[in-house]
Amino acid sequence: MSFEQFSLSKEILSELVKKGFETPTPIQQEAIPIVMQGKDVMGLAQTGTGKTAAFVLPILHNIALTKVKGRVRALIIAPTRELVEQINDVIIDFGKKIGISSMVIYGGVGYAKQELQLRNGVDIIVACPGRLLDHLEARKVDLSLLDTLVLDEADHMFDMGFLPTIRKILKYASHRKQTLLFSATMPSDIQSLASETLRNPVKIAIKVNEKLSTIKHAMYPVPQHLKTGLLFELIKHTDTKSILIFTRTKHRAKDLDKKLQAKGYKATSLQGNLSQNRRQEALEGFRKGTYQIMVATDIAARGIDVSLVSHVINYDIPSTPEAYTHRIGRTGRAERTGDAFTFISEEDSVMVKQIERKLGETIERIRLETFNYKEIKHVTDAPVVHRPFKKPGFRGHRKSDNSK
């Protein structure tokens, strides 16, 4: 199947060819024609499956057909600033040739610039819930001609406590013609929101395991106080393209970033204490290869669109199996392969079992013979492999990248 079969505008098709996108991903194959028809969609899909383009391309096409100058025609809501910027980048890439304007709205920056953009008129808004509600309550945003509302990463917005805010925003968007809801998981609260919000939706589900099969998992039993030493040893003996390291707290992310830099690594961090400009600089530097290693908290798990992350390392185990899925989803993207390493300590045994249950397999435990563990108690009854660590080399990847 090719993108030409969707009958998208020639400008959009031209940009797809220019960027080397030839074959739509499964979520794009299913969602694009449905969205073009104006139907509601409830989509179950992970970040990294090409979901962003699955709703952005048909929205741009539809707006271009009946453009009303300076009026908001589409509103896309996402949980993090990084994801908002990522979605807006896709809109800019494909919308500039057809004259469609967009803007981002999120907290952590001043109101004045956002208010000026709103007064000047814009076709698409991509926003985080909190700041968007501020503008709506101040009557700075007019949604009376809204065609499409997108709730992206709905489960993550629920985890962050945004569900009451979303419900308030929905009242301001009551005149919308189409609603698209995308989520990686469908807990009961999200299902309730979907039943309240969507009208006869088309349900699309892209199996998570199909994407996770491109990722090799491994766990490294290690006491808390030896994690940093093991990390340095693991990086030293691993052939990597780029590494994304997840920590539980922003303070630990900042501290680990400093230690990596002191060792001579090109490293940066992405965590809540940074200004928006610093966060964007770190993310862009990691994307372009200026930094080989990024240390991040979970704010980055759903907002990083970097095609060639070869390794994800969970320095701290995530708090839920779903968070594990989102973290490791930063590698093995767009049919490439990748590695996900997780450091586990004795107190992590319950979460380890939950993660393995979600994956449907026992994850291999590895003990590096080149590292001095001193005395260590293994976390679970699963067998531990004692072996020298061989450099696996970065696995090949396909030319085409439909990850956006």
Q: Are residues 16 and 165 in the same domain?
A: yes
| 169 and 55 belong to one structural domain | yes
380 and 239 in a common domain: yes
Q: Which domain holds residue 315?
A: 209-387
- Written as one string, the DSSP assignment of 112-130 is HHHHHHHHH--SEEEE-HH
Is 404 contained in some domain?
A: no
Residue 394 has pLDDT above 60, yes or no: no
pLDDT one-digit tens code per residue, 245-303: 999 988 999 999 999 999 999 999 987 777 777 888 888 888 888 999 999 887 655 55
Sheet architecture: strand order including 102-105: 102-105, 124-127, 74-77, 148-151, 178-183, 41-44, 202-205
Q: Whole-number mean pLDDT of the chain?
A: 85
Query: What's the domain count of the chain?
Result: 2
CA distance 362 to 99: 51
pLDDT > 60? residue 175? yes
Listed ranges 162-176, 356-370, 383-397; the one with the highest mean pLDDT? 162-176
- The burial of 48, by beta-carbon neighbours within 10 Å (0-12 exposed, 13-18 middle, 19 or more buried), is given as buried
Q: How much is the pLDDT for 190?
A: 85
Q: Give the residue with greater pLDDT, 378 vs 181.
A: 181
Q: What is the pLDDT of residue 385?
A: 54
Residues 126 and 258 in one domain: no
Gap between the Cα atoms of 313 and 340, Å rounded: 6
pLDDT confidence tier of residue 8, bands split at 50, 70 and 90: very high
- What is the distance, to the nearest Å, from the Cα of residue 322 to the centroid of all Cα atoms in its chain? 13
**C-alpha span between 247 and 153 (Å, rounded):** 21
Mean pLDDT score, 41-64: 90
Q: Is residue 393 part of a domain?
A: no
For 105, the 3-state DSSP assignment is: strand
Question: In terms of domains, do 140 and 160 share one?
Answer: yes
pLDDT at 387 over 70: no
Percent of the chain residues topping a pLDDT of 70: 85
Q: Which residues pair with 178 in a beta bridge?
A: 148
**Do residue 246 and residue 144 come from a single domain?**
no
**Which of 160, 177, 206 is the last residue in one of the domains?**
206
Residue 401 lies in a domain: no
Domain annotation covers residue 231: yes
In a domain, 341, yes or no: yes
pLDDT above 70 for 345: yes
Burial class (CB in 10 A: 0-12, 13-18, 19+), 277: exposed
Q: Which two tokens stand for residue 387?
A: 């072996």
CA dihedral defined by 320, 322, 324, 326, rounded to 10 degrees? -140
Say if residue 244 is in the same domain as residue 192: no
Q: Is residue 397 part of a domain?
A: no
Domain identity same for 124 and 256? no
Q: Is residue 129 pLDDT above 90, yes or no?
A: yes
- The verdict on residue 392 lying in a domain is no
Clarify whether residues 185 and 218 are in a common domain. no
Query: Taking 50 as the threshold, does the pLDDT of residue 211 lie above it?
Result: no
Average pLDDT on 196-225 reads: 83
> What is the model's pLDDT at position 67?
74
Would you say residue 77 has pLDDT above 70?
yes
Q: Which residue has the higher pLDDT, 173 or 48?
A: 173
Give CA–CA dist 365/355, Å, rounded. Answer: 14
Residue 259 and residue 151 share a domain: no
Query: How many Cβ atoms are within 10 Å of 69's Cβ, its own excluded?
Result: 8
Residue 131, CB half-sphere, CA atoms under 13 Å: how many?
22
Tell me which of 168, 185, 206 is where a domain ends.
Answer: 206
Given 153, 172, 206, the domain boundary residue is 206
Is the residue at 332 inside a domain? yes
Do 190 and 225 fall into the same domain? no
Q: Are residues 350 and 229 in the same domain?
A: yes
Q: What is the CATH classification number for the domain harbouring 59?
A: 3.40.50.300
Enclosing H/E stretch for 76: strand 74-77
pLDDT at site 392: 44
At 403 the pLDDT is 42
What per-residue confidence (pLDDT) applies to 391?
46
* pLDDT for 89 beyond 90: yes
